[in-house]
Amino acid sequence: MERAHGQSPASARGVLPAVLVVLFATGWAANHFTALLPVLAQSEGLGRAALDGAFGIYAIGLLPGLLGGGTLSDRWGRRPLLLTGAAVAGLGNLALLCWHDQTGVFIGRLIVGAGVGVAMSAGTAWSADIGGGAGSVLAGVALSAGFGCGPVISALLAQFTAAPVSVPFAVSVSLSAAAVLVGVVLARAKRAARRTAQDVPAETGGQSVVAALGAALPLAVWVFASATVAMVTMVERMHYRFNGPLLPGLAAALTLTSGVLIQMIARRRAWGPRAGAAGALAAAIGFGTVAVAGPTPALAVFVAVALVLGIGYGLCLRQGLIDVETKAPPRLRGTLTGIFWAVTYLGFGLPVLLVTIEPAVGITAPLIVLSVVAACIAVLRALREASAKHAVAHTVRDPVGRDVQ
């Protein structure tokens, strides 16, 4: 971990903005492709199967990148893994810029996925090393901002420029290159000798792999499940009224903007662990609303669902990252951060799953099941937090030894 490599706390905090810039560009590189799906379908003749396959092959690159990037950053340091991942993601979009038929889309998205996975896990872990829980939250905000801005700007560029495919990819490549150059400032940090066992911060009570994953993973499953239902499932159901690149761009803007804002509100209001239960509850409300709205939702329902599921996305992401930061042994923080992100990305498969099982079970029942499960997670999380507070209250004693109620 870079902070353990001889940097003072002040110098470590000084590089946090650069880390966040790289994470923002990484989020952009990952998600701006969403707004280009209608354009690629029209200009390149790519069908639904090909575009769904592009998301699948992205995941094939992403998951090893998340797991490997986190583990390797625990061993080799955060900086080289973060910058390498961001550069690889940029190269993947460069491939898409030059080659955007079906083969090019598959190869480019595979490369993007691998780079994004490495950068996300290493960068999030480094933010936590530098800033603790606040660093974890800022990493989530930076990535969310990139996830949201990328589709919006790419949708506008696709709609209003003469080269609706090439210009958005060129902008993404340029942003990745600029972010990596900004990240070079990290090289000013002191280069230290290889980390030894004494360099790793000591573990404190309650830190373990089981504690970290047991708290974070039940929230992780709702992160991108919430976002993709809003940005993919609801967009597809709105095609009876709207089409083109602006609709997915609007969905991304609404979902991810509310996700970023709610994280900032939760931090300012000091919601603490309650944010996890609130996020799962928001996901439950959003899924239930989608179920009731049916195959042709009203525009007002589309907007409301995007905002509510964005809140679920943001709060589950925030609290899940904080759980990993506070409960993971420091020597395994990168590895467990990668596992958390890998589980969040399982949510990207939810729209495809819903379409696949629709002929057998319809469009309503699966979303009702998801809503009920998310509500149960919210209740269990709330009960656990209440129990933990009660236990802490009864372990605090006054000067004469009586329990403080």
Of the listed ranges 47-56, 68-77, 197-206, the one predicted with least confidence = 197-206
**pLDDT tens, position by position, 65-114:** 998 988 899 888 888 999 999 999 999 999 999 988 888 899 999 999 99
Q: Mean pLDDT across the chain, nearest whole number?
A: 85
Tokens of 169: 């990819």
CATH top-level class of 15-186+207-390: mainly alpha
> Could you tell me if 212 and 335 are in contact, meaning their C-beta atoms sit under 8 angstroms apart?
no
- In the prediction, which pLDDT does 187 show? 53
**pLDDT tens, position by position, 251-284:** 888 998 999 999 989 988 888 889 999 999 999 9
- In the prediction, which pLDDT does 102 show? 85
Kindly list the domain boundaries of the chain, sorted by start residue.
15-186+207-390
- In the prediction, which pLDDT does 117 show? 94
What's the length of the chain?
Answer: 405
Residue 361 or 240, more confident: 361
- pTM for the full model? 0.82
What one-character DSSP code corresponds to residue 161? S
| Per-residue pLDDT at 191 exceeds 50 | no
pLDDT band at 393 (very low <50, low <70, confident <90, very high): low
How far from 126 is each of 131, 189, 325, 370, CA to CA, in Å? 9, 13, 10, 33
Interior angle at CA 292, CA 219 and CA 262, nearest 5: 40
d(CA 124, CA 141): 11
Taking every pair of Cα atoms in the chain, the longest distance, rounded to a whole number of angstroms, is 78
- In the prediction, which pLDDT does 8 show? 47
Q: Which of 393, 384, 387 is nearest to 215 (CA)?
A: 384
pLDDT band at 35 (very low <50, low <70, confident <90, very high): confident
How far from 193 is each of 9, 196, 280, CA to CA, in Å? 18, 9, 43
**pLDDT tens, position by position, 350-375:** 888 898 899 999 999 999 999 999 99
pLDDT band at 242 (very low <50, low <70, confident <90, very high): confident
| Per-residue pLDDT at 116 exceeds 60 | yes
| Per-residue pLDDT at 403 exceeds 70 | no
> Could you tell me if 140 and 321 are in contact, meaning their C-beta atoms sit under 8 angstroms apart?
yes
Mean pLDDT across the stretch 150-172? Answer: 91
d(CA 270, CA 369): 31
Hunting for tokens 């605090």 — which residue is that?
396
